[in-house]
Structure 1
Amino acid sequence: MTGTYEAIVIGAGQNGLTCAGYLATAGLKILLLERYHAIGGMTLTEEVTGPGYWSDLHASGYQLANLSPVPVDFALHEHGLELIEPGLPYAHAFPGGRMIAVSRDLDQTIASIARISTADAATCRRLFMRYQAAQDRIVGDMFAPPVSLAARAAAFQTDPGGFDAYRFSLQSARSWCDEQFESAEVTCLFASFAAFVGAAPDDAGGAEMAWLFASVLQAAGNKYVKGGMNNVTRALASFLVAHGGEIRTSAGVERILVTNGKATGVRLESGEEIRTSGPVISATDPRQLVERLLGPEAAGTELVANMQRYEWGDSAFIIFAALDGAVEYAAGPEPGTAAHVHLTPAGIGAIGQAFLECRGGVLPAAPVIVAWNDSAIDPSRVPAGKHLKKFVVLGVPYEIAGDATGRIAARAWEAAKDDYADYLIDLIAAHYLPDLKARLIVRVAHSPRDLERTLSSAVRGTILHGAMSPFQMGSQRPIPELGEYRTPVPNVYLCDSGTHPGPGVAMASGHNAARLICADLGARFPGRAR
């Protein structure tokens, strides 16, 4: 074995780097190991469409991070992090030129919604203000280890309004939107946010996720990271190194070494073994930790079997588009000032149909598409005079069994992805961005298989580290046996987005796991524990 460290962290994404940063600040000698050739995980930024065109491969938008204590604790602005505030956090465009623009100015947001429905505008004001009143509690819950299922159930039973909160936590987006809104457009505005966390209109739990994401972005913003999301993790890495931590890339871990029921180190895919006198923390997806890094010998066959039931959710499909000039939305110039724009027909039934097709193995004809206005908000990402967009399709099958577009004959992603990308470009140009095809220099499509090949934690081409189903949230995430960042091996922990509070670049799981590990070690947590 080579080298002795006081903690080893596996995976250099936002959560692994955050956990390592706190433990290094607490005085531990840290080694962070990353399988890929660069740090970043879900925040990778690369030249996908050509030299000088910098695209975020997976995560886009500095959203939940606006609520996080980590950027302040680590002074990330001193380590190269620069943020850009777009004119609008988000917008929703519909065929025919109708749109809703959501601003951080609540009155401006309500005025935009009122163009669709004055009744829905009043409802949205109440819903957004409801979030503002609850924000401190919600943020406090995010940046702390989860309460037990029993404690949560007791609170539902005893707190005033507990039953309504329980009902809301399980309500589908369609059920809730039917109660709240009269217009198809405002219904879609919220229902599309449920799709952000993989919830179809009729999935349990979609209502709360829809309200929460729509409200957080309206209140806290949806900023761009100058130069790409990778600069979040580069700033985290800079902080870690400044506090004595060591980072190695192209250093995939093959196995966590366990002796007498305790982790003693790791073996790399190269065969090199590295010792630790303290904890091993996994920031990979939970399946890799249980099945590959620990295996049944250390994790136990029952835990491996339970982990195999873990649900991953729907796959994603991404199109990166390099353009020779700006393109305006059919709805006018306003959506072009937003960080991202939802593109859907005006009806929750269309969203439901897209998920029905996806889950039946069929390529959806009109999926939920999120258009990111990359270069319009951050010109540093492109050569002078050029532009760049990213289109994220939320919900495609991992295995193709059929096609709802009528244009794709292939049933393997390698053969189908370019035809499907061409179909989607035609769809977007026909209904939302009329000049898109005329301005297109090159487009590159990443299928679910491509996403998984680039980053092993994007299991089945998903971007959430596991579906956000009610039984995979809180202390049940990823599964009850692992729901508090601990594993059956006493000094092995997990801190990826497959733990509470889940996906999104918030650095929350890394923060929460570090807080718990410090407590287990009898060390003072160096952050601002809420």
Structure 2
Amino acid sequence: MAADCDAIVIGAGHNGLVCACYLARAGLDVVLLEKYGSIGGMSNTEEVTLPGYHSDTHAICIQFANFSPVPDELGLAEYGYQLLRPDPCWSHAFPDGQAITVFRDIDRTCQSIARFSQRDAETWRSLYEEFLQHKDAINASLNSPPPSFADQAAQQQAPDGPDHFRLEMQSLRSWCHETFEAEETRCLASAWGVHVGAAPDDVGGGSIACLFSMVVQHFGNNVVKGGMRNLPLSLAGFLEAHNGSIRVDADVKRILIESGRAVGVQLDDGGQIRCRKLIASSAHPRHLVLDLLGEDQVGPTIARKMRLYEVGEPVMVIYLALDRPPEFKAGSPVNQSVYMHPSGHSLEYYSRIFSDARGGLLTEHPFALVCNDVAGDPGRAPAGKGLMKLVVQPLPWHIAGDAAGRIKGTNWDEVKEPFADRVIEQMTRDDIPNLADSIVKRVVHSPVDIARLLPSAVQGTNTHGATLPYQVGAMRPIPELGGYRSPIDNVYLCGAGSHPGPGVTMAPGRNAAQVIYDDLGLTFA
């Protein structure tokens, strides 16, 4: 049977698109297949609540992607990609109406922190200066395939190697208590741990909180003008301009293997697409290994390891169309922050929500990342209106009960609305007094809803696997697949289940392309 193309890429999230673009740039005939009805995956924008209210369905801000060379290398501005750079970067609010705000101007940030601790303000400045010294090295580590174990060992022999390794292993609690004196500053940094599923006593949480904090201090919480969807749309524009093609509603059932090599895919509707050279997958690595390839192809050892691959805690998303902008108890500049993290005044607040989630309980005082869409891009909603998204995490996948003893039921379809009520009531009481009265439409996606909508959101998660110390770098997702290569020599991983992991970074797709170029004898430039 004649081949239909040179390369097939599975999954049209932003990483799959990035990989496909680089393959097309090399002159390969690329077909990109997406199960969902539109491209974007978790970097999408939809009118979830009401017409005219454009919600970023998952990712809303460009953070680590500010390191990425992809927009310049692919000329994405020509295809509609444009960043807005709102200020402040983010705020952290407490129930008593106090808040810390991080601004693009480091002096203003330090002034905000100094209201709680002058020493912490000086420490924050020192951390930022240290970040600037290491920024180029961080950039290189994100936008290159992960180092081998031998290279990592060599790096630890450098003068600062032991201290760097210690930070990478340090828990959030340890790092925060060692670094800051005010509990409020500790909470400011620790909220970033929630984004990647790091509880205060988890190994490795300290370095995550430090890096996230400094990256956003430096680059800001930038948003894509018109919605995050314009990132995948710009990538699609580049791909199509370089003779690549995209098919949506194309559910890949399995990868076809002949004589130890991938020769194409079979779709759920029975059709086949054949390829001459390779297949790259941005699907969840568990789905790739266990479903698309199967144990017969990868062998029992890899199949067993992928079944044990930890996916992390799921999330719930509450989309809100508002009849006016939110008015935070803390006032300005929190009102102008595109991100707001609310919490109690202690690290024990974070300990409790993770303990509840891991014990199967709906927590009594949930954490919700508050995305104030209109603060970042006023065009997301009609004039004078408000648009918010609350990302509630961590949560249990299997519900054993309610920590407060008030919500009955253990099925997400039954409990999602009562639990969303709890989130809104808490947010209205502690942070946004006008929230409940300003809601004109609410849409709740439980972890189960998210898993139904997106095949890559295994068990309602948004990270393609937990970012644990033994599931990062060359060990992500597992050591045998840690360099973007699968057990089938022309099947590659190019999604967030590979280094450097989740979030909008564009790095897994580009890094995988570098590996593919090398295997094909091409020069990546």
TM-score of the superposed pair, with normalisation by structure 2: 0.99
Residue 469 (structure 1) shift: 0.3
Structure 1 segments unaligned to the other structure (5+ residues): none
Provide the C-alpha distance between the structure 2 equivalents of 1:36 and 1:214, rounded to a whole number of angstroms.
Answer: 33
Provide the C-alpha distance between the structure 1 equivalents of 2:380 and 2:404, rounded to a whole number of angstroms.
Answer: 33
Provide the C-alpha distance between the structure 1 equivalents of 2:323 and 2:348, rounded to a whole number of angstroms.
Answer: 36
Counterpart of 1:382 in structure 2 is 381
Q: In structure 1, what residue type is equivalent to 2:358?
A: R
Q: In structure 2, what residue type is equivalent to 1:349?
A: E
Q: In structure 2, what residue type is equivalent to 1:63?
A: Q
Residue 384 (structure 1) shift: 2.7
Counterpart of 1:153 in structure 2 is 153
Counterpart of 1:481 in structure 2 is 480
Say if 2:166 is the partner of 1:179: no
Tell me if structure 2 keeps the 8 A contact 1:2–1:272: no
Tell me if structure 2 keeps the 8 A contact 1:149–1:476: no
1:31-180 paired onto structure 2 within 5 Å: 31-156=31-156, 158-180=157-179
Residue 65 (structure 1) shift: 1.4
Provide the C-alpha distance between the structure 2 equivalents of 1:204 and 1:358, rounded to a whole number of angstroms.
Answer: 18
Counterpart of 1:308 in structure 2 is 307
Residue 150 (structure 1) shift: 2.9
Q: In structure 2, what residue type is equivalent to 1:376?
A: A
Provide the C-alpha distance between the structure 2 equivalents of 1:490 and 1:515, rounded to a whole number of angstroms.
Answer: 15
Tell me if structure 2 keeps the 8 A contact 1:66–1:221: no
Deviations 1:171-212 (A, max 9, x none): 100011010111111000111111111100100000000000
Q: In structure 2, what residue type is equivalent to 1:464?
A: T
3-state DSSP of counterpart to 2:339: strand
Provide the C-alpha distance between the structure 2 equivalents of 1:524 and 1:4, rounded to a whole number of angstroms.
Answer: 25
3-state DSSP of counterpart to 1:395: coil
Provide the C-alpha distance between the structure 1 equivalents of 2:59 and 2:87, rounded to a whole number of angstroms.
Answer: 20
Provide the C-alpha distance between the structure 1 equivalents of 2:367 and 2:190, rounded to a whole number of angstroms.
Answer: 10
Q: How many correspondences in the alignment?
A: 525
Provide the C-alpha distance between the structure 2 equivalents of 1:87 and 1:488, rounded to a whole number of angstroms.
Answer: 46
1:487-506 paired onto structure 2 within 5 Å: 487-506=486-505
When structure 1 is superposed on structure 2, of 34-43 and 367-376 the one drifting more is 367-376
Deviations 1:210-245 (A, max 9, x none): 000111011011111122111111111111111110
Provide the C-alpha distance between the structure 2 equivalents of 1:376 and 1:209, rounded to a whole number of angstroms.
Answer: 26
Residue 471 (structure 1) shift: 0.3
Provide the C-alpha distance between the structure 2 equivalents of 1:366 and 1:495, rounded to a whole number of angstroms.
Answer: 37
Counterpart of 1:240 in structure 2 is 239
Deviations 1:348-405 (A, max 9, x none): 0111111000100001122322101102321221123321101111201011111123
Counterpart of 1:29 in structure 2 is 29
Q: In structure 2, what residue type is equivalent to 1:423?
A: R
When structure 1 is superposed on structure 2, of 401-410 and 12-21 the one drifting more is 401-410
Counterpart of 2:12 in structure 1 is 12
Provide the C-alpha distance between the structure 2 equivalents of 1:366 and 1:126, rounded to a whole number of angstroms.
Answer: 33
Provide the C-alpha distance between the structure 2 equivalents of 1:496 and 1:436, rounded to a whole number of angstroms.
Answer: 36
Q: In structure 2, what residue type is equivalent to 1:183?
A: A
Residue 440 (structure 1) shift: 1.1
Say if 2:218 is the partner of 1:226: no
Residue 2 (structure 1) shift: 7.0
Q: In structure 1, what residue type is equivalent to 2:318?
A: I
When structure 1 is superposed on structure 2, of 244-253 and 83-92 the one drifting more is 83-92
Say if 2:291 is the partner of 1:292: yes
Q: In structure 2, what residue type is equivalent to 1:293?
A: L
Q: In structure 2, what residue type is equivalent to 1:274?
A: I
Counterpart of 2:435 in structure 1 is 436
Counterpart of 1:210 in structure 2 is 209
Provide the C-alpha distance between the structure 2 equivalents of 1:302 and 1:311, rounded to a whole number of angstroms.
Answer: 16
Counterpart of 1:262 in structure 2 is 261
Counterpart of 1:454 in structure 2 is 453
Counterpart of 1:337 in structure 2 is 336
When structure 1 is superposed on structure 2, of 402-411 and 90-99 the one drifting more is 402-411
Runs of 4 or more, structure 1, over 4 Å off, are none
Structure 2 segments unaligned to the other structure (5+ residues): none
Deviations 1:274-303 (A, max 9, x none): 111101000101001000100012111211
Deviations 1:383-428 (A, max 9, x none): 2332110111120101111112333112110000000001110000
Provide the C-alpha distance between the structure 1 equivalents of 2:326 and 2:487, rounded to a whole number of angstroms.
Answer: 54
Counterpart of 2:394 in structure 1 is 395
When structure 1 is superposed on structure 2, of 285-294 and 373-382 the one drifting more is 373-382
Provide the C-alpha distance between the structure 1 equivalents of 2:75 and 2:338, rounded to a whole number of angstroms.
Answer: 24
3-state DSSP of counterpart to 1:6: strand
Q: In structure 1, what residue type is equivalent to 2:152?
A: R
Residue 154 (structure 1) shift: 3.0
For the aligned residue pairs, the C-alpha RMSD in angstroms reads 1.0
Deviations 1:84-111 (A, max 9, x none): 1112111101111110010111111111
Deviations 1:24-45 (A, max 9, x none): 0011010000000000011121
Q: In structure 2, what residue type is equivalent to 1:454?
A: L
Provide the C-alpha distance between the structure 2 equivalents of 1:384 and 1:180, rounded to a whole number of angstroms.
Answer: 43
Provide the C-alpha distance between the structure 2 equivalents of 1:239 and 1:524, rounded to a whole number of angstroms.
Answer: 20
Provide the C-alpha distance between the structure 2 equivalents of 1:436 and 1:406, rounded to a whole number of angstroms.
Answer: 25
Provide the C-alpha distance between the structure 1 equivalents of 2:145 and 2:495, rounded to a whole number of angstroms.
Answer: 13
- Residue 367 and residue 129 in structure 1: after superposition, are their counterparts in 2 closer, same or farther (change >3 A)? farther
3-state DSSP of counterpart to 1:396: coil
Deviations 1:450-502 (A, max 9, x none): 11111010111111110000000000000000000001111000011010000
Q: In structure 2, what residue type is equivalent to 1:422?
A: D
Provide the C-alpha distance between the structure 1 equivalents of 2:459 and 2:126, rounded to a whole number of angstroms.
Answer: 39
3-state DSSP of counterpart to 1:137: helix
Provide the C-alpha distance between the structure 1 equivalents of 2:348 and 2:153, rounded to a whole number of angstroms.
Answer: 33
Tell me if structure 1 keeps the 8 A contact 2:321–2:442: yes
Tell me if structure 1 keeps the 8 A contact 2:46–2:56: yes
Residue 51 (structure 1) shift: 1.5
Provide the C-alpha distance between the structure 2 equivalents of 1:49 and 1:373, rounded to a whole number of angstroms.
Answer: 15
Tell me if structure 1 keeps the 8 A contact 2:279–2:490: yes
Tell me if structure 1 keeps the 8 A contact 2:95–2:430: yes
Provide the C-alpha distance between the structure 2 equivalents of 1:463 and 1:307, rounded to a whole number of angstroms.
Answer: 17
Provide the C-alpha distance between the structure 2 equivalents of 1:377 and 1:515, rounded to a whole number of angstroms.
Answer: 33
Tell me if structure 1 keeps the 8 A contact 2:3–2:276: no
Provide the C-alpha distance between the structure 2 equivalents of 1:204 and 1:56, rounded to a whole number of angstroms.
Answer: 31
When structure 1 is superposed on structure 2, of 46-55 and 96-105 the one drifting more is 46-55
Counterpart of 1:189 in structure 2 is 188
3-state DSSP of counterpart to 1:265: strand
Q: In structure 1, what residue type is equivalent to 2:127?
A: L
Tell me if structure 2 keeps the 8 A contact 1:407–1:419: no
3-state DSSP of counterpart to 2:17: helix
TM-score of the superposed pair, with normalisation by structure 1: 0.98
Tell me if structure 1 keeps the 8 A contact 2:86–2:375: no
Counterpart of 1:512 in structure 2 is 511
Provide the C-alpha distance between the structure 2 equivalents of 1:15 and 1:368, rounded to a whole number of angstroms.
Answer: 28
